[in-house]
Amino acid sequence: MSLVIVGSLAFDTIETPCARRERIVGGSGTYCALAASFYTRPKIVGVVGTDFPKETLDFFRRKKIDLRGLEVRPGRTFFWAGRYEADPNCRTTVCTELNVFQDFRPKLPASYRRADIIFLANIDPDLQDDILNQAARPRLVAMDTIQLWIETKREALLRVLDRVDVFFCNDQEAKMLTGEVNLVRAGRKILDRGPKWAVLKKGEHGVLVLGRGRAFGLPGNPTEEVVDPTGAGDCFAGGFLGSLDRAGRFTEGAIRRATVHGSVMASFAIEDFGIERFKTLTPTQVEERYRCFKKLVAF
Amino acid sequence: MSLVIVGSLAFDTIETPCARRERIVGGSGTYCALAASFYTRPKIVGVVGTDFPKETLDFFRRKKIDLRGLEVRPGRTFFWAGRYEADPNCRTTVCTELNVFQDFRPKLPASYRRADIIFLANIDPDLQDDILNQAARPRLVAMDTIQLWIETKREALLRVLDRVDVFFCNDQEAKMLTGEVNLVRAGRKILDRGPKWAVLKKGEHGVLVLGRGRAFGLPGNPTEEVVDPTGAGDCFAGGFLGSLDRAGRFTEGAIRRATVHGSVMASFAIEDFGIERFKTLTPTQVEERYRCFKKLVAF
C-alpha cells in the first residue's frame, strides 16, 4: 500500500499562556507525514521556499518520508502565527503569509499517481479537488478542512466532500458545516453527502467516528499538560491513515484501530512545541501509548 | 449491601428550545433513587410537602424504593424552574422555592444507619456533613455538588470532601473548585483532598474517572436528541452506586463497570422529560444499552 499526503509545510510562530516559539517548522503536511511515518512510508506533496531548513528535510528523509512531490521554490515558506488561550481549544490566528503557497498548484508526481490512499490535508478545497483529478483510482480518499474554507469556499468544499471516503473535522466545524447543534446529527448529515466515515475530533474530549449505522467513541488521553496543540489534528490524520496503510484494509475494525493510532499520535504531538516530540519518539513509546488507550477504556 | 440516598424531591418547571413542562416531579434524590432501583433497593432520605403526588410515591414503591426516610411535611414541595439553551449544557435557573426544604434537617432512620453505601446527592454541604455524623461506618461514601455550593459554601464543601470516597461533579465544577484549567489536574487535586475516586462528568462528552494512578474514560452515548438533560447527573450517580451496591465490592473493575452503568442510566434519563423514561424502561433495555457502550468503545 502507499499513502500520499497533500498539505502545507510552514513556519509557525506560536504563543501559549506559558511560552512562545518563533518561526518553528509546522504545517498540516509536515505534521501528518511525520505521524504517518511511524506506520508507513508516506509520500508528501507540497511546496517550501528556499528558506526551509535543510535539517528538517534531512529529518524527513531519515523518517523515510518520500519527498519527490515536494517543490522547493524561490521565495519564502508559508508562515502562520497564532495564539492559544488557557483553554487550548481556543486559538486566534495572529498572522498568515502565503508566500510560495500563494500560487501553488499541487502536482502528483508519476510515482504517486497510483497511491492507494490519498489524504487531502487542510488546504484550499479547489486544490484538493484538483489533486483528485490527477489520481488514478485510489482505494481510499480522506480530507480535512478548517473553518476558513467552510466560511469562504463552502460550495467547493462540498464538491470535494462528495468524492471522499473519510472526512476529518472537529466538532465545531461539523456543526458549522451542517447547521446542526447536535454533533451526532451533524455527523449523519456529513455521511449523507457521501463519505463512509465522519471522523469528528473533539480535542481533549477525544473523537467520535460515525459510519452508516456505526459509531466508535474514544476519550482523549488524560493529559495534565498541553504544551502546544498545533498540529494535533494533522497528526491524528497521520496516525489514522498511516496505520490503515500498514494494515492494508479498511474494515470497521481497521477504522477503529486507526482511530486509536490517530489519537496516540495526536497525544504525542501536543507534548512539545511544533514537531519536537517526533524527534525523540520511539516505536516502543507509540505501542505503549496504544496500550494505555486500551486500558483507559477497558471495562 | 444497602444504599442510602440523601437528596431533594421536587417539582420542576423545565423549558427547552422545543418544549416546556410545568411542575413535573424531579429532584436529585428522585432521579438518583429511580436510576438505582434498576440495580438494588435504594433507601431514600428527603422531604416533600403534602402536594407531592401520591402516584409518584406509589411508583417509587413499585420500584422497591424504601421510603422510611422520606418525611412528608405540611406545606409545599421544593420547586425549581430552569431553561436550557440549544446546547443542553447551558442552563439558567429561572426560579427556586425551597418551601418545605427550607428548614429540613435530614435524619437517618435507625434502619438506615448501617447502610453500606451512603450517597449525599446535591444538597447543602452542612446537611451532607450532618448525615455522615449519623451514619455508622459506611463502607463507601459518595457525594455530588453544584456550582452554588462551590461559590457560597466552599469551606463546608471541602470538609465533606475530606470524608468521602467518591466525588461526583461535572468538569466545570471540578475546575471551579480547584482553580485548575486542565481537567486532569483538577481531578488530581480533588484526589489530594481525600476521595479515592473523582468522577468527572462531561455531559455529551462522557465521563473521566480518576483514582490514584488510575484513569478510566468513557465517551457519551452518541444520541441525536436530548429531550431534557435535567437529572442526568443524578441518574448517573444512581446507576453508578446502584450497580456497586449490587456488585458488593469496590474494586477498580467494579468502579469501571459502575461508570458504564451510570452512563447508561444518564443516557435514558435525557430521552424524555423528568422521570418519564423510567416509567417504561425495562431491565432488558438497560442491559442492551450497556452492550451498546461496550461496542461503542471496542477496538
Q: What are the sequence ranges of the domains in chain B?
A: 3-8+28-70+110-297
Tell me which chain A residue has its CA closest to the CA of residue B253. A299
- Which pLDDT does position A90 carry in this prediction? 85
Q: Which of residues 166-195 of B touch A (CB under 8 A)?
A: 181-185, 188
CB of A259 within 8 Å of a chain B CB? The answer is yes
Residue B234 annotated among the catalytic residues of the structure: yes
In this prediction, the residues of chain A whose per-residue pLDDT falls under 50 are: none
List the single best residue of B200, B205, B255 to mutate versus A (max A Cβ within 10 A).
Answer: B205
Tell me the CATH architecture of domain B3-8+28-70+110-297: 3-Layer(aba) Sandwich (3.40)
Find out whether B264 and B283 touch, Cβ atoms under 8 Å. Answer: no
Tell me which chain B residue has its CA closest to the CA of residue A186. B224
**Unique residue bearing C-alpha cell 480530507:** A143
Of residues B15, B7, B16, B12, the one with CA closest to residue B24: B12
What is the distance between the alpha carbons of residues A5 and A238, in angstroms, rounded to a whole number? 9
A205 vs B184, B205, B253: nearest CB? B205
Q: Is B217–A296 a contact, with Cβ atoms under 8 angstroms apart?
A: yes
CB of B257 within 8 Å of a chain A CB? The answer is yes
Q: Is A219–B218 a contact, with Cβ atoms under 8 angstroms apart?
A: yes
B219 vs A86, A87, A208: nearest CB? A208
- Which pLDDT does position B119 carry in this prediction? 98
Percent of chain B topping pLDDT 70: 100
A:B CB pairs within 8 Å: 89
pLDDT-derived band at B183, boundaries 50, 70, 90? very high
Q: Is A298–B256 a contact, with Cβ atoms under 8 angstroms apart?
A: yes
In the predicted structure, residue B170 carries a pLDDT above the cut 90: yes
- Return left, alpha or beta for B264; rule: phi > 0 is left, psi -120 to 50 is alpha, else beta: alpha
**What are φ and ψ of residue A202, in 5° steps?**
-125, 30
CATH superfamily of A3-296: Ribokinase (3.40.1190.20)
List the single best residue of A171, A181, A184, A205 to mutate versus B (max B Cβ within 10 A).
Answer: A205
What is the distance between the alpha carbons of residues A96 and A92, in angstroms, rounded to a whole number? 11
Q: Is B224–A188 a contact, with Cβ atoms under 8 angstroms apart?
A: yes
Q: Is B182–A253 a contact, with Cβ atoms under 8 angstroms apart?
A: no
Q: Is B299–A181 a contact, with Cβ atoms under 8 angstroms apart?
A: no
Chain A contacts of B86, Cβ < 8 Å?
A: 181
In the predicted structure, residue B109 carries a pLDDT above the cut 90: yes
pLDDT-derived band at B12, boundaries 50, 70, 90? very high
What is the distance between the alpha carbons of residues B81 and B85, in angstroms, rounded to a whole number? 14
- Which pLDDT does position B89 carry in this prediction? 80
- Which pLDDT does position A86 carry in this prediction? 85
* Long-range contacts of B103-106, Cβ-Cβ distance < 8 Å, separation of 24 or more: B104/B46, B104/B47, B104/B71, B105/B130, B106/B6, B106/B45, B106/B46, B106/B47, B106/B69, B106/B130, B106/B131
- Which pLDDT does position A120 carry in this prediction? 98
- Which pLDDT does position A203 carry in this prediction? 94
Q: Is B205–A210 a contact, with Cβ atoms under 8 angstroms apart?
A: no
- Which pLDDT does position A207 carry in this prediction? 98
- B219-237: per-residue pLDDT in tens? 999 999 999 999 999 999 9
- Which pLDDT does position B69 carry in this prediction? 98
Query: What is the residue-averaged pLDDT of chain B?
Result: 96
- Which pLDDT does position B90 carry in this prediction? 85
Find out whether A57 and A279 touch, Cβ atoms under 8 Å. Answer: no
